[in-house]
Structure 1
Amino acid sequence: MFGKSSKINEFRLWGLLFTLFGMGLMILGTAGIVFWGQAGKVFAAIFMVIGMIAMLASVGIYFWAGMLSTSAIILNCPECGRHTKMLGKTDRCMYCKTKLTLDPAQATDLDDEDKEEIEEVKRTQPQS
């Protein structure tokens, strides 16, 4: 993906990019009719179809992001205090971009007590 953003916002960004790309292609295709007259109709038809496919892809991406959003874990960001949604084991806050995790083994800023608990869990788990 692009970088420092939450996963849901990344999906929404891809949906927006496909929407803009599809609309741009359809506008470019319509410009073919204006500048090339009769010969531009084929150009316009091709670009309209490709633009529609891009628009349908954006609808699919937005639908997928919406479905992921309904099953996401909602938590309070420790940095900004706002409600944010988290997908997977690690994600970023939707507002302040702070790294979030529910897995203590992946957390970087731990107290001594938390580190001891992690070591104890590692010792009790069978080695594979």
Structure 2
Amino acid sequence: MKLKSSKVNEFRLWGLLLTMGGMLLMIVGLAGIVFDWGSAGKIMAVTFMFIGAIAMLGSMGIYFWAGMMSTSATVIECPECGKPTKMIGKTDRCMFCKTILSMDPKHDPNASAS
């Protein structure tokens, strides 16, 4: 369970992956022009540049969405580490120590089953 993170950090991770993927696609597309592969290289460059630009725009959208969610998230103090963390939805994880948090007692995994 160490690989799980808070929802805001998960959105930021996907935004970062799309940014890096889009940049990588653009670099691969540039190889068609740099190594002078003729008309096939130009077609490859245009195709990969277009797909990379779409990935970068998707990344921008995800970062914007994560930022909007972050501004409206509930800030609570983590009972485990004591740091303030943002919570989205009924359950979330601490941004620092990854403890499962819940505002609703019936969704609380730390509550004792009586």
- TM-score normalised to structure 1 length: 0.81
* Unmatched runs of 5 consecutive residues or more in structure 2: none
Q: Which structure is richer in relative contact order (CA contacts within 8 A, separation 6 or more)?
A: 2
Query: Identity, % of aligned pairs?
Result: 63
The superposition leaves residues 54-100 of structure 1 with CA deviations (integer Å, 9 ceiling, x where unpaired) of 00000000000000000000011011111100000000000100000
Report whether the alignment pairs 1:38 with 2:38: yes
- Say whether 1:87 aligns with 2:88: yes
Q: TM-score, normalised by structure 2?
A: 0.91
| 3-state SS, counterpart of residue 101 of structure 2 | strand
Partner of residue 119, structure 1: none
1:88-116 Cα distance to aligned partner (Å, 9 max, x none): 0000000100000000111233369xx6x
1:9 aligned partner: 9
SS in 2 for 1:42: helix
Q: Say which structure is richer in helix.
A: 1
Q: Runs of 5+ in structure 1 lacking a partner?
A: 116-128
Letter in 1 for 2:28: L
Counterpart residue identity of residue 24, structure 1:
L
| Structure ID, larger Rg | 1
Please provide the CA RMSD for this pair: 1.6
